[in-house]
Amino acid sequence: MISYIEEIKQLKKEKNAIILAHFYQPKEIQDIADYLGDSLKLAQVAVEAKADILVFCGVHFMAETAKILNPKKKVLLPVLEAGCLMADMITESDLKKYRLSHPNTKIITYVNSTASTKAESDCICTSTNALKIIKHYTDKGEAILYCPDQNLAKYAMKQGNLSFDAWKGCCPIHHDLDRNEVLNKKKEYPEALVLAHPECQLNILELADYVGSTKQLLDYVIKSPKDTFIICTEEGVIHAMEKACPEKNFILASTSLLCPSMKYTTLKDVYTCLAKETNEIIVSEEVSKRAKLALEEMLKLS
């Protein structure tokens, strides 16, 4: 039987390719990644990448972001159907309409968005830097629209004591996490700390001892003197946590915390797209140019 792991290693050498993977990817994909990270870290890796081919194991907007930031590289997404439910909750034409009625408002768009939505934005942000970027504009007295994640918007408003327009999108996987499930887990593990991603609703974030991006949650468990954690984000991150801290316990707040698109990627898909150089991400030059400006603004402010 073909050993996909060995074949992938060989192909990477032959073709000068690297594999980038998000923390929500299946375990075996995380384990073959050259770079594992959250949206911000993977975007930064993409900018610096010297390889000829970037195989992006994640969802469509992540691979698109890598292509926009480093357009000369060939960026491959092993499963082209791997989309993000939140990214589809706002479109370029929604933002064009909004701009017409709010010509002086700065549009800050979460990285979980399509390239054409990014192209209509003034600045992009991720879960790592959202509050910092929002404050950069509100401190200057600018009116802003934050899109598409209403939960990250509400969290930033609360954290920064701010008020601004927010789109009504969300990540259904995080948004639907039931507060009672988290409360029950807290009862069952009274010594545990609760860690949450800011895409959860405020009624979950209120229960959290720490809120952060996937990478920030991982860094937190590594540094913490505690040994039991209730995790309120997609289950994939627990693999990275268990690898980094094998002696600690990680309890998923709910079995519903599973992003189907993130689990599409198989080793065979990675092997096939690299062997045949298929599933290439293409972004039109016109969209790419404008989206890049908004992404570079984020990287400058991060």
| Spatial separation of the C-alpha atoms in residues 198 and 210, rounded to whole Å | 10
- Picked from ligand SF4, ligand 13P, none, the partner binding residue 38 (CB below 5 to 8 A depending on kind) is ligand 13P
List the single partner that 299 binds among ligand SF4, ligand 13P, none, CB under 5 to 8 Å by kind: none
Binding-site member from 30, 109, 116, 126 for ligand 13P (CB under 6 A): 126
The answer to whether 272 and 248 have CB atoms below 8 angstroms apart is no
214 Cβ partners below 8 Å, 6+ apart? 22, 23, 24, 38, 127, 197, 233, 234, 237
- Least CB distance to ligand SF4 at residue 84 (A): 3
Give the shortest CB-17-to-ligand SF4 separation in angstroms.
23
x/- contact string, 152-191, with ligand SF4 (CB under 6 A)?
A: -------------------x-x------------------
From 59, 95, 108, 221, residue interacting with ligand SF4 (rule: CB under 6 A): 59
Residue 64 interacting with ligand 13P (CB under 6 A): no
Show contacts with ligand SF4 in window 240-269 (CB under 6 A). 259, 261-262
86 binds ligand SF4 (CB under 6 A): yes
Instruction: Decide if residue 293 touches ligand SF4 (CB under 6 A).
Output: no
Is the dihedral angle over the CA atoms 230, 248, 131, 292 positive or is it negative? negative
Cβ-based nearer residue to ligand 13P, 201 or 213: 213
CA distance linking residue 47 with residue 245, whole number of Å: 30
Which residues lie closer than 8 Å to 174 by C-beta, 6 or more apart? 151, 197, 199, 200, 201, 232, 233, 234, 257
**Consecutive H or E run containing 55:** strand 53-57
Q: Which two tokens stand for residue 23?
A: 């923390």
Residues forming contacts to ligand 13P in the complex (CB under 6 A) are 23, 38-39, 112, 126-127, 171, 197, 199, 213-214
